[in-house]
Structure 1
Amino acid sequence: METIRIVTKRLKFRNMRLDDAANLMEIFTDPEAMKYYPSTKDESRTLEWIEWTLANYANHGVGLWIVEDRETGEFLGQCGIVPQVVDDITQMEIGYLFKRSEWGNGYATEAASACKKYGFETLTLDKIISLPDVENIPSCKVAERIGMKVEKTIFKWGKDVHVYSIVKSEYN
Structure 2
Amino acid sequence: MINTTVRLLLRPPTLADLEVFHAIHADPATNQFNPAGPMTDRQHAEHALRAWLGHWQHYGYGQWAICTHHDPEQVIGFGGIAPRLYGEVERLNLGYRFAQHAWGKGYASELAAASLAFAFEDLRKPEVFAIVRPAHLASIRVLEKVGMQRLDTLDDVPGQAPSWVYRAERTSPKV
Q: State TM-score, norm by structure 1.
A: 0.90
Residues 1:20 and 2:17 are matched in the alignment? yes
SS in structure 2 at match of 1:156: coil
What displacement does 1:55 show?
Answer: 2.4
Q: Which residue of 2 aligns with 1:139?
A: 139
Q: Distance in 2 between matches of 1:106 and 1:131?
A: 19
Q: How many percent of aligned residue pairs carry the same amino acid?
A: 24
What displacement does 1:157 show?
Answer: 4.9
Deviations 1:23-63 (A, max 9, x none): 11221221111112212122111101101211222343332
Q: Distance in 2 between matches of 1:12 and 1:134?
A: 30
What displacement does 1:171 show?
Answer: 9.0
Q: Which residue of 1 aligns with 2:111?
A: 111
What displacement does 1:88 show?
Answer: 3.3
Q: Distance in 2 between matches of 1:171 and 1:50?
A: 36
Cα-Cα RMSD: 1.8
The structure 1 residue matched to 2:163, chosen from 158, 161, 167, is 161
Residues 1:39 and 2:41 are matched in the alignment? no
- In the alignment of these two chains, the number of paired residues is 169
SS in structure 2 at match of 1:50: helix
Q: Distance in 1 between matches of 2:38 and 2:124?
A: 34
> Where in structure 2 are the equivalents of 1:1-172 lying within 5 Å?
3-4=1-2, 6-37=3-34, 38-41=36-39, 42-73=41-72, 74-86=74-86, 88-158=88-158, 160-169=162-171
Q: Distance in 2 between matches of 1:132 and 1:52?
A: 22
Q: Distance in 2 between matches of 1:141 and 1:58?
A: 32
Q: Distance in 2 between matches of 1:114 and 1:26?
A: 24
Structure 2: gaps (5+ residues): none
